Amino acid sequence: MAEITYRDALNQALAEEMERDDSVFLLGEEVAEYDGAYKVSKGLLDRFGDKRVKDTPISELGFAGLGVGSAMVGLRPIVEFMTFNFSFLALDQVINSASKMLSMSGGQIGIPIVFRGPSGAALQLGAQHSHACETWYLHAPGIKVVTPSTPADAKGLLKAAIRDNDPVAFMEGELLYNTKGEVPDDDDFVIPLGLADLKREGDDVSIITHGTMTHVALQAAGQLAKDGIEADVLDLRSLRPLDVDAILATVAKTNRAIYLEEGWPYLGVGAQIVSIIMEEAFDDLDAPVLRVTQADIPMPYNKKLEAWARPGVARAVEACKKVLYV
């Protein structure tokens, strides 16, 4: 294994899948000449040429539609949104076209397309550029949603998403691009969609989470361990399809759980997870399931207010102790 950055893991996945399948191509703002806003597509233009790495105008609705149309006729486009915040401009193509076409065509027209880019807050980018965007996509049947937290997950899951025959919203952590981790050297390293990963084992409480918040959960688990509390940290990795068995297994083991997410509380991802636990694992619970989320406000620009609004280690630790009654 080699230790590489999350950014380089994504780059490897793109290059390997484009080499493997010449129907795969990348399009988006600044993905070619500029090597991508976050340098994820670095070197791909030189390697594959401008027919397969395409710079687009600043028109998310337009180039998302181009991607959907090309998928309808047999290509496998990867549409990069410079940030998933900008993808709201393309929701008509993503939700009304990509996610519904297989069903509306009676199974005749598949849409093998990946919409990828950074999601969630970074540092002081203001309310319009700090959305955790999962719930907009999760609500629509027909599109898969993936949120990798480590370089290995980023590579393995992106390769799986590109090979998948359904639309996939692949949401990368905006704060994770420089993080490092070990990644298998195997060119065929693929992580199937729909499998959660237990990032840390413990018997006292379950911290269920996804994406960037996995790192916050691991830090919280480390702090809890100093007080003799051992936490399971379950990274869902994929939100649609969802590894319900893994959720139920961790709850059955610890009997107490919190859900940690970057998004807002109202109709958030955690609301769905808590509903599943209450319906299918109620008898395993020794305490109510709690959620730790962003404050229910637009993200402030002010540095101190932004830190207050974001879910962090202290709040996760507090929630775990609350369900443990300590």
What are the residue numbers of the active site?
60, 129
Q: Which residues pair with 291 in a beta bridge?
A: 259
H or E element at residue 2:
strand 2-5
- Residue 213 near residue 262, CB atoms below 8 Å: yes
- Spatial CA neighbour of 172 closest among 240, 81, 234, 111: 81
Tokens read off for 72:
């309808």
d(CA 27, CA 63): 8
d(CA 320, CA 326): 9
H or E element at residue 171:
strand 168-173
Would you say how long the chain is, in residues? 326
Tokens read off for 251:
């709850």
Vertex 88: Cα angle to 28 and 310 (nearest 5): 105
Tokens read off for 67:
């991607």
- Residue 231 near residue 207, CB atoms below 8 Å: yes
CB atoms inside a 10 Å sphere around CB 73: 7
